[in-house]
């Protein structure tokens, strides 16, 4: 039985990876999950210098999901390279680094530093985090800005680049096509949807940042639709995510056209979610006599 998938020339053992920001640097979940069993570990967003992030409360639970406004706190690319990357290499994980920045120059800085480290298989460029006012918001929501950042990052990156799309746009296909035309090697979607929660008892915003990104099962149908739309519009591989909690969810995304999937908020609900989903996909293929996972990808029937 073949579970391997190919993303921009990089072979993943299986299509299940972690979603950026929900799995720390991998180390935090290593008591629960064997990192080398995953298709890939996608790291928390890494910037050129340490970022402090937002004030608390940073997270709030909502029906079937959660809001977060972490503000991309991270120790910066130097610490990532010195501490987190060697850990992941030792754990024999396939590493995808999520990259964030305030300016195109910030992104290039990180991408160039990571270019010296072939242990990093792929780069995922976060142009869609809705949390930081001066952050990625403009890149991910405007096709021209997305085109220019994709071109610049592609010109400086040694590894293939995955552009991570924001769902907070009128037409996500247009964004996928713009990134593809500008040289993206793959796409991932969706990032969180901008949301808000007000506590009626205290009459205050639940998050200090007022708005936050919605994730979890509540967003899954939107994500499936967007993955389907983009996967059928572009030729490059698409990595699907948004509310994936069970193996059934993962298979739904593969059928919609995703080459691989990422598991985010579900890690908080079940720390072994990623491994459980891999086992579930394996069993489903066995039960249905499917010998190659590629036979599932995009295979929704009309």
Ligand X SMILES: Cc1cc2nc3c(=O)[nH]c(=O)nc-3n(C[C@H](O)[C@H](O)[C@H](O)COP(=O)(O)O)c2cc1C
Contact call for residues 163 and 188 (beta carbons, < 8 A) = yes
Assigned token pair, 63? 């029906």
Assigned token pair, 193? 């949807």
Site string for ligand X, 187-226 (x = CB under 6 A): ----xx----------------------xx--x-------
β-pair type (59-62, 198-199): unpaired
Instruction: Give start and end residues of each alpha helix (H) in the chain.
Output: 77-79, 85-90, 104-115, 137-141, 143-156, 172-181, 220-231, 247-256, 266-269, 273-287
Among ligand X, other proteins, none, what does residue 271 contact (CB within 5–8 Å per kind)? other proteins
Q: By CB under 6 A, what part of segment 158-187 binds ligand X? A: 164
Site string for other proteins, 249-278 (x = CB under 8 A): ----------------x-xxxxxx------
Q: Which helix (H) or strand (E) element contains residue 283?
A: helix 273-287
Q: How far apart are CA 260 and CA 237, in angstroms?
A: 8
Count of chain residues binding ligand X (CB under 6 A):
26
Contact call for residues 81 and 117 (beta carbons, < 8 A) = yes
Among other proteins, ligand X, none, what does residue 19 contact (CB within 5–8 Å per kind)? ligand X
Contact call for residues 163 and 125 (beta carbons, < 8 A) = yes
Identify which of 85, 75, 104, 33 has the alpha carbon closest to the alpha carbon of residue 274.
33
| Closest CB 89 distance from other proteins, rounded Å | 19
User: From the candidates 129, 153, 179, 296, which is the catalytic residue?
Assistant: 129
User: Does position 141 bind ligand X by CB under 6 A?
Assistant: no
Identify which of 218, 204, 196 has the alpha carbon closest to the alpha carbon of residue 265.
218
For residues 75 and 143, which CB has a smaller minimum distance to other proteins in the complex? 75
Q: How far apart are CA 42 and CA 94, in angstroms?
A: 9
Contacting range for other proteins; rule: CB under 8 A; set: 58-66, 148-156, 182-190, 247-255: 58-66
User: Does position 242 bind ligand X by CB under 6 A?
Assistant: yes
3 is catalytic: no
Tokens 């979603």 sit on residue: 19
Binder of other proteins out of 44, 154, 164, 197 (CB under 8 A): 44
Contacting range for other proteins; rule: CB under 8 A; set: 24-32, 126-134, 187-195, 277-285: 24-32
Binder of other proteins out of 37, 73, 152, 158 (CB under 8 A): 73
Q: How far apart are CA 272 and CA 52, in angstroms?
A: 29
Binding site for ligand X (CB under 6 A): 19-22, 44-45, 68, 70, 72, 98, 126, 129, 164, 191-192, 215-216, 219, 241-244, 263-266
Q: In the complex, which residues of this chain contact other proteins (CB under 8 A)?
A: 21-24, 28-29, 31-32, 44, 50-53, 56-61, 63-66, 68, 70, 73, 75-76, 79, 216-217, 265, 267-272
Residues annotated catalytic, as ranges = 129
């Amino acid at each position: 039985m073949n579970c391997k998938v190919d993303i921009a020339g990089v072979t993943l053992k299986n299509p299940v990876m972690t979603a950026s920001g929900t799995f720390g640097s991998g180390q935090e979940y290593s008591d629960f999950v064997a990192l080398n069993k995953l298709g890939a570990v996608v790291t928390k967003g890494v910037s050129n210098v340490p970022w402090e992030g937002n004030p608390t409360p940073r997270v709030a639970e909502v029906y079937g999901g959660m809001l977060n406004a972490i503000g991309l706190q991270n120790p910066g690319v130097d610490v990532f390279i010195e501490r987190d990357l060697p850990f992941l290499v030792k754990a024999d994980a396939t590493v995808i680094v999520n990259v964030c920045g305030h300016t195109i120059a910030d992104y290039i800085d990180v991408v160039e530093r990571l270019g010296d480290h072939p242990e990093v298989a792929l780069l995922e460029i976060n142009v869609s985090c809705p949390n930081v006012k001066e952050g990625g918001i403009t890149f991910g929501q405007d096709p021209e800005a997305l085109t220019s950042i994709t071109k610049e990052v592609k010109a400086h990156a040694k590894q293939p680049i995955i552009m991570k799309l924001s769902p907070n746009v009128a037409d996500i296909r247009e964004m996928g096509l713009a990134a593809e035309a500008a040289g993206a090697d793959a796409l991932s979607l969706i990032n969180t949807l901008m949301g808000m929660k007000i506590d009626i008892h205290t009459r205050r915003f639940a998050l200090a940042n007022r708005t936050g990104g919605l994730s979890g099962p509540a967003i899954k149908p939107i994500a499936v639709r967007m993955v389907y739309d983009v996967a059928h519009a572009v030729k490059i591989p698409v990595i699907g995510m948004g509310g994936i909690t069970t193996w059934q969810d993962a298979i739904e995304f593969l059928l919609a056209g995703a080459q691989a999937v990422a598991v985010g908020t579900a890690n908080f609900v079940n720390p072994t979610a990623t491994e459980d989903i891999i086992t579930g996909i394996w069993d489903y293929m066995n039960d249905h006599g499917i010998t190659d996972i590629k036979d599932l990808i995009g295979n929704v029937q009309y």
